Structure 1
Amino acid sequence: MPRSTFPRDRFDDLPDGDGRVGAHRAERPRSRGWLVFLWAALATIVLIVVGIFGVLVASGRISLSSDPEPTPTVAETTPPAIDTSYSVVVLNGTADEGLAGNLRDQIVALGWSGDAVQTGDSDTTDFATTTVYYKSSADEQAALGLAAAIGSAEVAQSDFLQPTDDPNTADDESAEKRLVVVIGLDRAAQPTP
């Protein structure tokens, strides 16, 4: 190997045992990867919390204003009154025997006269829900009152089994006012008291 023609300096007299050649850097510090991981996990948690909070504010589930939300007021409703001036026909729309008679007794106990409440069987034995039928919108309140009194019955407007009046007296006070109750399968398992 050719000798260098550069002038001698202090590094030419170093022993060869170190194994180092070239520029020397500081020793690598011990691994602090856990510290980097801890900071990354903390930053992730903060970003998730801020994101969830932002979504709740944007969707209106959290309000940043100091105005309290108005409390909803519940209007007191009075139950519809029972109008015993109507005649009532009770039809059993199930296969269970005696339901029409039991409901008739319950209606008579509410104030109807015995001859104003008639019973019978419906054409079907699989009627789904107990329903009170009324003829015109003027009869709706009476039907609602009867439905509330007998408990958990639906109300529907229909000419179903209504008396056929003379068209000239349809709006007359003398025309018979009738409500028709069809007992459904919702009462079949538990007979009316």
Structure 2
Amino acid sequence: MSKPSRDRFDDVPRSSGRVGAHRAEAPGMNGWVVLLWSFVAALVLIIAGIFGSLVVMGRITLFPEAVPTVAPTPEQTGVVDTTYSVLILNATPDTGLDTQMREQVVNAGWAADTVFASESASKDFATTTVYYVDAADEQAAIGLARLIGGAEVEQNDFYASMNDTGGKQLAVVIGLDRSASGSPAPEDTPAS
């Protein structure tokens, strides 16, 4: 056989390292990469399963319906109108609450001869309420309710027959919410 001819690569010294090994995969890294990807895949599947089961059970809504925003109703502040006569009835077992409230109303600007205070036959009225007859009287009733420290306001003509003045009248029934000695079973019917 013929001998190959000599060229410049024959003079290069041989090294004792890897020849061509820089192109091969590192045998130790392959197992860790597969394990890492297995953990990532398992985690993604677990999270997707939990989320899917919460959607199926109805604990998460994917596309919630838009809740219509309702503009808040402006609070009616009422008007303090001293042209109304005021009837105050004490419907609690405590005596003198009607006189105290009468003084409070008179001190707020009402004429003393237009504010009438009396004890009621009922002694177990639940909540202090200002009653008015006509819808046009509502703002004056709200104003009086705020003036006496907060009270409910209700349209009712029950006290219209007690109006001796012939003019506009509001009726205040003092309830157990203003009483020091409350009753266990209060009523919410108008007191007479």
TM-score, normalised with respect to structure 1: 0.59
Q: Tell me which of 44, 47, 50 is aligned to 2:49.
A: 47
The answer as to 2:134 corresponding to 1:132 is no
Is the partner of 1:48 in helix, strand or coil? helix
For 1:108 and 1:135, how far apart are their aligned partners in 2? 22
Which range is displaced more, 142-151 or 71-80?
71-80
Task: Give the alignment partner of residue 176 of structure 1, picking from 138, 144, 167.
Answer: 167
Alignment partner, residue 59 of structure 1: 64
Runs of 5+ unmatched residues, structure 2: 1-37, 182-192
Cross-structure match for 1:86: 84
**Is 1:146 the counterpart of 2:144 in the alignment?**
yes
Give the structure-2-normalised TM-score. Answer: 0.60
- CA deviation profile, 1:26-55 (whole Å, cap 9, x unmatched): xxxxxxxxxx99976762333213554793
What amino acid maps onto 2:64 in structure 1?
S
Deviation at 1:77, TM superposition (A): 4.9
1:79-122 deviation line (CA, Å, top 9, x unaligned): 21101000101100100111111111111121111111111011
* Amino acid in the other structure paired with 2:178: R
Residues 144-174 of structure 1: CA deviation (Å, up to 9, x unaligned): 1111211221111222222478xxxxxxxx9
Instruction: Pick closer, same or farther for the CA change 1:154–1:89 going to 2, 3 Å.
Output: same
Amino acid at match of 1:90: I
Runs of 4+ in 1 over 6 A off after TM superposition: 36-39, 69-73
Query: What is the aligned-residue identity percentage?
Result: 44
Displacement of 1:138 in angstroms is 1.8
Pairs aligned (count): 141
Q: Which amino acid aligns with 1:143?
A: A
Question: For the Cα contact (< 8 Å) 1:133–1:157, is it kept in 2?
Answer: yes
Q: Is the 8 A contact 2:76 2:142 kept in 1?
A: no
Partners of 1:164 and 1:132 lie apart in 2 by: 15
For residues 108-123 of structure 1, the aligned pairs below 5 Å read: 108-123=106-121
For 1:187 and 1:146, the matched residues in 2 are separated by 16
Q: 8 Å contact 1:163–1:176 — kept in the other structure?
A: no
SS in structure 1 of the partner of residue 61 of structure 2: helix
Instruction: Using the TM superposition, give the Cα deviation of residue 71 of structure 1 relative to its aligned residue in structure 2, in angstroms.
Output: 8.6
**Superposed CA RMSD:** 3.5
